[in-house]
């Protein structure tokens, strides 16, 4: 059966999505939805009113509100109880995606560095790494019980960004992603240090070859991005001299070529002209801050800096509350204070953003980014994702995310993917989003050959419609494109 959705329906959806995304409250989105409903009776409203603050909190903390999620929240005694369980990793014993996610991970064996130097082996390693990170990210967000963790990793993957679009970074991207997942609710300072020691980061920002011995000038790429993108921000008070001094402090941070693990090479390290009386935006070396210890102390200082607290709080507020929220908003200021009070822990800061009384007045609607949209469609449409045809399913998923321009970690620059709704709502982007929904909803488009069906099936009945065409129309509407 081929999917047919009228051009009129899609144009109505585009208009309603635009109206919803521009709305600062839920009432305009509801009115937009009702207008579309009058014109297209086949599209059954399935999402709760976005004006419902409790629902909006759940939408921001997950990849879609389902009946099963509401049961979880009720069992936890309400949203805050559910949120605390997510932060403490007290999750349901078995999620419907547990087996699938385990099967995805099992396909990726450790990458043999010697083998990846050769053509066919390199191509196979590239395929497996790309399919694994894409399946882990999208199907994990759709089906995983740890919804809040997946939401936070979605933010961290852009904040502490490493690209999957080049090699050798791609071969280390799954391990790098695991580091972000493990530290998603913990101390941000620990996470910055952990990423600084990851081979993917060291390769991406040219740190692994940075040496200052023998009068050499160390590479400044990582030093610059550590301050500009990972911690204090471009307005954090540093200058070009600070960049050079950070590069000297971190000289010798590299990767052992045999074990492919972090290594500090003392012979490559030299502080240059950075003396005991000098400082880097307030940091001075203590007596014991020599060699690797100096770099550790500096990263700790930068991650705990007040400018970092304000920047991280604002970034999380833009992703969990409103992309229109300003840096001087009271909610952002409070979140920064919580971040600092809890020694840079992400969990307490995020809890404050989502549970504050200020959330209701500050939260505005946003267009789902492509990864969010695809995960949401799989999640709310009651998708059956079988491991039987896992290879063709992951091939399909990578293709969809490539067309949408949102392959996990695929952004080539260190600043991460764009976060604003405007970046993902151009005419071309909307057509790609609708085409993606057609591909996901219509089994006939998912088969590259009679011998290669996929294991992905979305259920129209879950959203109260009767066939794939009506399911596409529903998923292209504002209830699902906007949250």
What are 264's strand-pairing partners?
Answer: 253
The highest-confidence range among 17-26, 90-99, 337-346, by mean pLDDT, is: 337-346
**Range scoring the smallest mean pLDDT among 97-111, 226-240, 410-424:** 97-111
Indicate if the pLDDT at residue 167 is higher than 90: no
Query: Which two tokens mark 153?
Result: 């990793």
DSSP character at residue 109: P
**Range scoring the smallest mean pLDDT among 16-25, 247-256, 358-367, 402-411:** 16-25
Which residues, 6 or more positions from 1, have their beta carbon under 8 angstroms from its beta carbon?
442, 443, 444, 467, 468
Indicate if the pLDDT at residue 477 is higher than 70: yes
pLDDT attached to residue 286: 85
Indicate if the pLDDT at residue 483 is higher than 70: yes
pLDDT attached to residue 3: 62
pLDDT attached to residue 109: 74
What are 253's strand-pairing partners?
Answer: 264
Q: Please, what's the largest Cα pairwise distance for the chain?
A: 75
Indicate if the pLDDT at residue 40 is higher than 60: no
Range 87-94 average pLDDT: 88
Per-residue confidence band for 452, with pLDDT thresholds at 50, 70 and 90: low
Q: CA nearest 40: which of 48, 29, 32, 50?
A: 32
Q: What is the CA radius of gyration of the chain?
A: 23
Indicate if the pLDDT at residue 384 is higher than 60: yes
Range 129-139 average pLDDT: 96
pLDDT attached to residue 22: 55
Per-residue confidence band for 16, with pLDDT thresholds at 50, 70 and 90: low
Indicate if the pLDDT at residue 346 is higher than 70: yes
Q: Say how far apart CA 83 and CA 359 lie, in whole Å.
A: 15
pLDDT attached to residue 32: 45
Per-residue confidence band for 17, with pLDDT thresholds at 50, 70 and 90: low
pLDDT attached to residue 12: 54
Per-residue confidence band for 42, with pLDDT thresholds at 50, 70 and 90: very low
pLDDT attached to residue 47: 38
Determine contact, residues 372/141, Cβ cutoff 8 Å.
yes
What are 434's strand-pairing partners?
Answer: none
Per-residue confidence band for 26, with pLDDT thresholds at 50, 70 and 90: very low
Determine contact, residues 412/165, Cβ cutoff 8 Å.
yes
Per-residue confidence band for 388, with pLDDT thresholds at 50, 70 and 90: confident
Q: CA nearest 152: which of 425, 397, 349?
A: 349
- The CA-atom distances, in angstroms, between 355 and each of 57, 146, 186, 394 are 8, 18, 19, 36
Residue 2 neighbours by CB distance under 10 Å:
9
Indicate if the pLDDT at residue 437 is higher than 70: yes
pLDDT attached to residue 124: 87
Indicate if the pLDDT at residue 44 is higher than 50: no
pLDDT attached to residue 290: 86
Q: CA nearest 263: which of 210, 217, 301?
A: 210
Mean pLDDT of the chain: 88
pTM of the complete model: 0.90
Indicate if the pLDDT at residue 50 is higher than 90: no
- The CA-atom distances, in angstroms, between 138 and each of 67, 257, 370, 431, 478 are 20, 32, 10, 20, 21
pLDDT attached to residue 450: 55
Range 401-414 average pLDDT: 97
Range 6-30 average pLDDT: 52
pLDDT attached to residue 35: 41
pLDDT attached to residue 9: 57
pLDDT attached to residue 48: 36
pLDDT attached to residue 312: 98
Range 140-162 average pLDDT: 97
Percent of the chain with pLDDT over 70: 86
């Amino acid at each position: 059966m081929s999917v047919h959705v009228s051009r009129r329906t899609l144009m109505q959806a585009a208009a309603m999505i635009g109206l919803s995304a521009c709305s600062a409250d839920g009432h305009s989105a509801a009115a937009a939805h009702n207008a579309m409903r009058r014109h297209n009776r086949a599209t059954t409203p399935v999402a709760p009113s976005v004006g419902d603050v409790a629902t909006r909190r759940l939408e921001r903390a997950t990849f879609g509100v389902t009946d099963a999620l509401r049961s979880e929240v009720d069992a936890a005694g309400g949203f805050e109880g559910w949120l605390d369980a997510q932060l403490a990793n007290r999750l349901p014993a078995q999620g419907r995606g547990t087996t699938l996610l385990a099967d995805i991970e099992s396909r990726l064996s450790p990458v043999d560095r010697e083998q990846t130097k050769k053509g066919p082996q390199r191509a196979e390693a590239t395929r497996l790494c790309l399919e694994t990170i894409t399946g882990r990210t999208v199907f994990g967000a759709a089906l995983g019980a740890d919804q809040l963790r997946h939401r936070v990793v979605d933010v961290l993957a852009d904040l502490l960004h490493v690209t999957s679009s080049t090699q050798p970074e791609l071969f280390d991207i799954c391990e790098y992603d695991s580091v972000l997942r493990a530290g998603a609710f913990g101390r941000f300072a620990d996470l910055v240090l952990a990423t600084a020691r990851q081979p993917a980061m060291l390769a991406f920002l040219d740190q692994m070859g940075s040496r200052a011995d023998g009068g050499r000038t160390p590479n400044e790429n990582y030093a610059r991005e550590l301050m500009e993108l990972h911690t204090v921000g471009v307005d954090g008070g540093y200058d070009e001299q600070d960049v050079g001094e950070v590069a000297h402090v971190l000289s010798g941070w590299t990767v052992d070529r045999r074990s492919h693990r972090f290594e500090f090479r003392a012979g490559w390290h030299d502080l240059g002209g950075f003396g005991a009386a000098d400082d880097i935006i307030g940091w001075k070396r203590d007596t014991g801050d020599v060699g690797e210890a100096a770099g550790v102390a500096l990263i700790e200082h930068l991650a705990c800096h007040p400018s970092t607290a304000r920047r991280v709080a604002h970034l999380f507020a833009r992703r969990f509350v409103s992309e229109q929220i300003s840096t001087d908003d009271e909610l952002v200021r409070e979140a920064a204070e919580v971040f600092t009070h809890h020694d840079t822990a992400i969990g307490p800061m995020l809890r404050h953003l989502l549970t504050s009384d200020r959330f209701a007045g500050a939260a505005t609607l946003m267009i789902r980014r492509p990864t969010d949209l695809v995960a949401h469609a799989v999640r709310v449409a009651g998708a059956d994702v079988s491991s039987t045809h896992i290879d063709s399913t992951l091939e399909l998923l990578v293709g969809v995310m490539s067309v949408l321009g949102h392959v996990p970690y695929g952004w080539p620059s260190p600043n991460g993917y764009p976060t604003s709704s405007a970046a993902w709502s151009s005419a071309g982007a909307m057509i790609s989003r609708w085409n993606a929904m057609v591909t996901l909803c219509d089994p006939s488009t998912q088969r590259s050959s009679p011998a290669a069906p996929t294991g992905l099936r979305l259920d129209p009945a879950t959203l109260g419609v009767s066939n794939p065409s009506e399911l596409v129309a529903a998923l292209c509407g504002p209830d699902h494109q906007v949250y």
